Amino acid sequence: MTEPRATRPGRTLCWAVFQTVLASHAGAISVRSDDLTGIMFTSHHKTGTNLGLELESCFAGDTGMTRDLSTQARRCIETRTLADLNWDGTVPPNCDRVVHFVRTPREIVRSAYLYHRQQPPVEPWLAFPAVQILGEAVPNNPFLAGETYNQYLLRVPMTVGVYAEMKQQVGDNFQKLESSYNATKDDPRVRTVCLEDAWGDFEGMIRGLAFHLMLPYSGGIRSCSEQHDPGKHTFGTHTTHGTLTHSEMAQLRHTIASLDDEWFGGRFGKSPLSTMCGSKVTARRNQRDEWLDGLG
């Protein structure tokens, strides 16, 4: 299944999130000396784009609480693009430290499937024609005339909708996620962080980021970052609001695993990111999934 590059869900969603976060810090970015530590936070669709951009603002001194850090850190790239947010693993020449948010691949599918089915549609591209997004329907589940992608996911059985999501992920988002991790996992400039860490030990995660970025874990960083702690806050339109019971959520995860093994050769489950981040999913499974999804 192929779709026009301009309408691929991961890129469109990341762009919408990026514009929202950047607008909230309008006027805060300024040109800084090249002798400051160059930092960049990057991610992929549903792996922490919203969280990463907010934390980058904290550490780059773009907020009133962390203004003092503007004399120690600078953004590697002042004008961000979609390529920075769906990272290919290339570290810009002027970057000293990169934070790369990743996530268990099967959890990305689960999060994306639920997010994309919400009513009313939470992103403009979800109201695009399904044929424009998917290119072709899942076999034996044709599109209806004028049907949007959101409507298609709502109408078809869960197994069909999840399969459609996985077909999109494996050809673009998942491929970029895994290749960027493999390219940078041994690069000392890059710290790979599971989005699941935001639930397990948010403060510990922020401390680790400060150490990697060679910046102090200051009171300002604590105050700025804790605004994005999923254990304390919800996240508005970027949160997946649902009514799935624990048994229904377990069934969804089982469906994803079964489709992965049957149709995708287990690529999602065999990913090194599944090993790296998977145990953290199990550890927090009694938590509210939709809160963590809001950081994606």
pLDDT tens sequence across 166-207: 998 887 889 999 999 999 999 999 999 999 999 889 999 999
Alpha-carbon gap, residue 296 to 292, rounded angstroms: 7
Residue linked to tokens 């960027």: 180
Q: How many domains does the chain have?
A: 2
Alpha-carbon gap, residue 9 to 12, rounded angstroms: 5
**If residue 219 lies in a helix (H) or strand (E), which one and from where to where?**
helix 219-225
Tell whether 244 and 100 lie within a shared domain: no
Tell whether 127 and 261 lie within a shared domain: yes
In a domain, residue 194? The reply is: yes
Tell whether 26 and 69 lie within a shared domain: yes
Tell whether 153 and 256 lie within a shared domain: yes
Tell whether 13 and 140 lie within a shared domain: no
Tell whether 260 and 133 lie within a shared domain: yes
**Domain ranges, residue 85:** 5-104+184-228
Is residue 140 predicted with pLDDT exceeding 50?
yes
In a domain, residue 247? The reply is: yes
In a domain, residue 284? The reply is: no
Tell whether 72 and 11 lie within a shared domain: yes
Please report, for residues 56, 110, 150, 151, the alpha-carbon distance to residue 51 in angstroms, rounded to integers and kept in the order given: 9, 19, 25, 28
In a domain, residue 289? The reply is: no
Tell whether 201 and 167 lie within a shared domain: no
> Residue 242 corresponds to which tokens in the numbers above?
């649902």
- Closest alpha carbon to 61 in 220, 278, 238: 220
User: What is the value of pTM for the model shown?
Assistant: 0.84
Tell whether 12 and 145 lie within a shared domain: no
In a domain, residue 277? The reply is: no
In a domain, residue 94? The reply is: yes
Identify whether the C-beta of residue 102 lies closer than 8 Å to the C-beta of residue 195.
Answer: yes
The torsion region of residue 146 among left (phi > 0), alpha (psi -120 to 50) and beta comes to left
Tell whether 10 and 85 lie within a shared domain: yes
Tell whether 206 and 255 lie within a shared domain: no
In a domain, residue 146? The reply is: yes
pLDDT tens, residue by residue, 9-66: 444 444 444 454 544 444 444 444 568 999 999 999 899 988 999 999 999 999 999 9
Tell whether 49 and 135 lie within a shared domain: no
Side-chain half-sphere CA neighbours of 248 within 13 A: 7
